[in-house]
Amino acid sequence: MSLQSFLQFLLLLLYISSINGFSVNPSAKESSSVIHFKMIHRHAPELLGEKKLTHYDRIQELLHADKLRMNILSHKRKLRATSSRRELQGDGTSFSFPLLSGESTGTASYYVPFRVGTPAQEFLLLVDTGSDLTWMNCRFRCNENNIGSHCSNPKDHNLTKRAFYPENSQTFRTVPCNSTLCQQGFLNLNSNPEMCPTPNSPCSYDYPYASTEVAQGVYAYESVTVKLNNGVEKQIPDMLIGCTREWNDSYGMGKADGIFGLGFNSHGFVSNIYKNFQGKFSYCLMDQYNTKNLSNYLTFGNRNPQEMPPNMQYAVLGTIGDHFGVTVEGIYVDGVKLNISDEVWNIEKGGGMMVDSGFSLTAWVPVAYDPIIAALENPLKGKFTSVKFEGFDSCFKVPQNNNNATMYESLVPKFEIQFLSGVRLKPAVRTYFIDVDDTGVKCFGFNRAPEGDASGSSISILGNIMQQNHMWEFDILGDRLGFAPSSCSLLA
C-alpha cells in the first residue's frame, strides 16, 4: 500500500470512528504554545531515596528487562505490518510532561507523572516510544454489564499499588464490546472482541508481551490533565486509555503504575494529540553518570528556542510497525565505514533501526553485530585486559583512578551511526563502552537482535543509553528526527 493510500485509509478510519460516537482526537484547541511534563534525572534524590544499586545490580536488571523487551518487540513485529503516519495540520500549541528516570528503581526507562480523570488522579507511568497503548493500574468495578470482562471487585483491590478508580471520575467512558472500534479498530491494540457477554460490556484487551499476557483490562475514553507552558492547567478530553486490572510484574516496571505509550498507532496518545501541538514531541535524556538533581521535560509542541541546541541535525523519520524508526546509511568506527549490507538498514525492505526510549542497550541485527564488535574491540586488545562478564560479549578491565576517564576514552574507537540524509550520531564513549560493575570492568553495551522473522526481516534498536546527552525531536508532520548533543541543563 502506498503512503498516500494509507493516509487516506487512516482518515477514513477516523471518520468512521467519529460517526460511531467515539472521538479519537481532542475536540478543543489548546490556548498555549508548550506543554511540559517534568523530567527528573534517574539519580535524583526524590527517585533514589534510600535504595542503593551497584553497577552490577543495575546492569543485570537492565539486561533482564531488555531481554524481555526484545521478546515483546519480536512478538509484536510478527503480528503487525508496517504502518505509516497520518498527514494532519497543527495549530502551534504545545505542552510537556515531567520525565523521571527509572534507573534507580531497577528499570532502564523514564517516568512521567500522568494525570487522568475528573477530578484528576495522578500516576507514575513509564515513557515508552515502543508501546502504542497508554494504560495504568485500574480498579474497574464489576456490574451486570461487564461480568466476564477484566473488572475487579473491592475485595480484589491490591492496596500496595496505586490504582485508578473510574467510579470516582465524571468523564470515564468505556468502549462497548459490540462497537466497530472493538470488533475491528482496536485489533492492533490486542482487543478481545469475542469477550462480549452483553452488547454494552466494555471492550477488553489482553496485551501480549512475548508469550505471556502482561496487561489485561478494558478500553475507555478519559480526560487527561496537562499543564501548559504558561502554567495554566488544561483538560484534554476523550483520550483512549487502558484500564488494566493486572499485569505481569516480571516485566520490570519498578515503581511505575503503567505505561505511557508514545508509539504511533492511529488510536494512541501521540496520534491523537500531535496535530494540535506542531506535530512533534521531544525529550533530552541526561547523562546516566550525572548525580546532580536536574529536571527535564518531555515536551509536546515547539520548545522555546533557548532550550534547543543550535546544531540540530535531521534524519528521515519513518515507522516500523507502530514504532518510530530510521534508515541507516552506514556504521563508522574511527571514520571507516564497516562492510555491512545496506539492506539490513532499510525500513522499506523490512529492516531499519527503531528509536526506542524503553530499551536500554542498543541492539544490532546479527549481520551487523559481529563486525561492529570486532571493529571496536580489536584496537583495545593489548591496551586493556579482556575479561568475561555475564550478558556481554566484549569486556575489558580498565585501571581505576580519578584521572583516567579522559585517558581510556581516548583509546576507545570513535563510533558513529550515519542516517539517511547523511547526518551522523556521534555518541559519547561512555554511552557505548559502559560500566558494568564497581571494579573497573567496562563492556561494549550492545545486544544481538534476534534473527529475522519468516520474511527474513530484522531490525536494530537504538536504546536510551546511547540516546543520552542529546536532544531528540520527533517531527511527525515533517517526517524527520532531529538530534543534537546537549547537556540538558538548559531545561532544568
Closest listed residue to residue 109, CA positions, set 313, 261, 300, 282: 261
DSSP-assigned beta bridge partners for residue 176: 202
With a CB cutoff of 8 Å and minimum separation 6, the contacts of 81 are 321
Residue owning grid cell 510484574: 249
Rounded CA Rg of the chain? 22
Active site residue 128: yes
Round to whole Å and give the CA distance between 319 and 4: 15
DSSP secondary structure, 91-158, as one string: -S--EEEE-EE-GGGT-SSEEEEEEETTTTEEEEEEEETT----EEEB-PBP-TTTTTSS-B-GGG--
Tally DSSP H helices, then E strands, for the chain.
7, 29
Beta bridge partners of 443: 395, 434
66 counts as catalytic: no
Which of these is catalytic: 132, 257, 356, 437?
Answer: 356
Q: Which of 66, 128, 132, 257 is catalytic?
A: 128
CB atoms within 10 A of CB 100: 30
> In angstroms, rounded to a whole number, what is the distance separating the alpha carbons of residues 448 and 361?
10
Instruction: Give the integer Cα–Cα distance in Å for 163 and 439.
Output: 41
Angle at 45 between CA 43 and CA 48, to 5 degrees: 60
Q: Supply the residues annotated as catalytic.
A: 128, 356
